[in-house]
Amino acid sequence: MLLAIHTTCIGKVGIAEENGLITNLFFEGELPVPEPYSEASALTCEAFRHLDAYLNGDLKTFSLPLSPPSTLFSARVRQALLLIPYGSTATYAAIAMAVGSPTAARAVGTVCSRNPMPIVIPCHRVVPSGSGFGGYRGGLKLKAALNIIENKAATA
């Protein structure tokens, strides 16, 4: 596995690649220690360009080769997350309905919390049915910031 690091407006981000596929995106507080970092490959450089463009509000969808999900349910949730329009949100319950498991809102939340590629697979667009903003691997402050970036760019 190759792990390259890049500094963005949200802090350091690590992107892991294996066999020509993006496998993980790590936020600054999640980066492995000690640092087994590699030189950026052509693919991780492309992923960082996508990420920078997204964070600047210039990119709405990522077109990168991604490692496959580990389970069929995770694959269905990932596909549903990718269908949430840029600048919009969906509830955990709505995603559960969309994947054909209407009582699985908590399971959707679990898949989102274990999303190996946050931002690229936009779990930050998923919110609870009630009040609040739900959880996010990168923290609620980052989840809110990503949604603000999208809302500004979508209405510009």
83 with 123, same domain: the answer is: yes
Name residue 150's amino acid. Answer: E
Question: Of all residues in the chain, what percent carry a pLDDT higher than 90?
Answer: 82
Distance CA 131, CA 46 (A): 37
Identify whether 123 is a catalytic site residue.
yes
Give the chain's mean pLDDT.
Answer: 93
Provide the pLDDT confidence category of residue 34 given band limits of 50, 70 and 90: low
pLDDT of residue 7: 95
| Banded model confidence at residue 1, pLDDT cuts 50, 70, 90 | confident
Q: Alpha carbon of 153 to those of 59, 60, 69, 116, 146: distances in Å?
A: 9, 9, 29, 25, 11
- Domain of 141 in residue numbering reads as 72-155
pLDDT tens string 104-120: 999 999 999 999 999 99
Q: What confidence tens digit (pLDDT) does each residue in 134-152 have?
A: 889 999 999 999 999 999 8
Tell me the whole-structure pTM to 2 decimals.
0.92
Q: Could you give the percent of the chain with pLDDT greater than 70?
A: 97
- What is the number of structural domains in the chain? 2
Q: Is residue 64 part of a domain?
A: no
Given 9, 45, 112, 123, the catalytic residue: 123
Q: Determine the average pLDDT of the residues in 9-16.
A: 95
Same domain, 27 and 98: no
Question: Does a structural domain hold residue 47?
Answer: yes
| Domain presence at residue 67 | no
pLDDT at 35 over 70: no
Q: Are residues 131 and 96 in the same domain?
A: yes
pLDDT at 117: 97
Residue 99 sits in the same domain as residue 139: yes
> Which residue type does 55 have?
L
How far does Cα 12 stand from its chain's mean position?
15
